Amino acid sequence: MDQASHPPTQPLADHIADDKEMSVWIYVETPQGSRNKYEYDSGLGRLKLDRTLHSAVHYPADYGFIPETHAPDGDHLDALVIVQQATFPGCYVRGRVIGFLEMSDEKGEDQKVLAVAAEDPRFDGIRNLGDLAQHWLREIEVFFSTYKMLEDKSVEVGQWQDRHEAVTLINRCRLAYLSDLHRMPQLQ
């Protein structure tokens, strides 16, 4: 199976501004608990093992990106989705967006959208960052502050922003994707 192929029958990127649930598809590259960082390589059109984390830490939630977005760092917009049970690389998870974490690294802005699994009733009450046990936010902040330390790469972790800011960011990155697609049709 071509892991890279997006569901072909309909566009993934719903207009979430019209979606009261504020949910989006998230493509999982690296599952919660993993020390292997799997990454979708758009050149290869495949998932690959990018690296094993140098530090003794693991991903605190399923991690990947929101398809059909272009983030300021030139990649897809990164996203974490909190799940009851880790999924697998290449799995699409419907995530209800609750905020994002400001971040930057050597490539520039590198925001991380945070969502919870929209189809899991355990997360029914989670609509905002404040609905989540705050330890989740601390754990994610510390993970991103430290996971590249032994690679001698600098990462700046900023503030959490609420879900409305996250939706604005997602829509901005969708527009960037669409305009880039228009300019560079070969990317289709």
Q: Which stretch binds Mg ion (CB under 5 A): 68-76, 86-94, 171-179, 180-188?
A: 68-76
CB contact burial 136-170 (16+ within 10 A = b; e otherwise): bbeebbebbeebbeeeeeebebeebbebeebbebb
Which is nearer to Mg ion, 19 or 106 (by Cβ)?
Answer: 106
Q: Which stretch binds Mg ion (CB under 5 A): 23-31, 71-79, 83-91, 164-172?
A: 71-79
Strands 92-105 and 112-117, bridge-based pairing: antiparallel
**CA dihedral sign, ordered 143, 146, 151, 155:** positive
Which is nearer to Mg ion, 106 or 124 (by Cβ)?
Answer: 106
Q: Which stretch binds Mg ion (CB under 5 A): 77-85, 91-99, 154-162, 167-175?
A: 77-85
Which is nearer to Mg ion, 110 or 141 (by Cβ)?
Answer: 110
Q: Is 122 exposed, middle or buried (0-12, 13-18, 19+ CB in 10 A)?
A: exposed
Report the candidate in 75, 63, 68, 72 with the shortest Cα–Cα distance to residue 115.
63
102 near Mg ion, rule: CB under 5 A: no
110 near Mg ion, rule: CB under 5 A: yes
| 13, 78, 90, 166: residue in contact with Mg ion (rule CB under 5 A) | 78
Q: Which stretch binds Mg ion (CB under 5 A): 3-11, 22-30, 38-46, 74-82?
A: 74-82
Q: Find all residues with CB under 8 Å of 4, minimum gap 6, and list them.
A: 40, 42, 44, 45, 46, 47
| 3, 50, 72, 75: residue in contact with Mg ion (rule CB under 5 A) | 75
Q: Are 42 and 68 in contact (CB under 8 A)?
A: no
Which is nearer to Mg ion, 29 or 78 (by Cβ)?
Answer: 78
- The binding site for Mg ion (CB under 5 A) comprises 73, 75, 78, 110
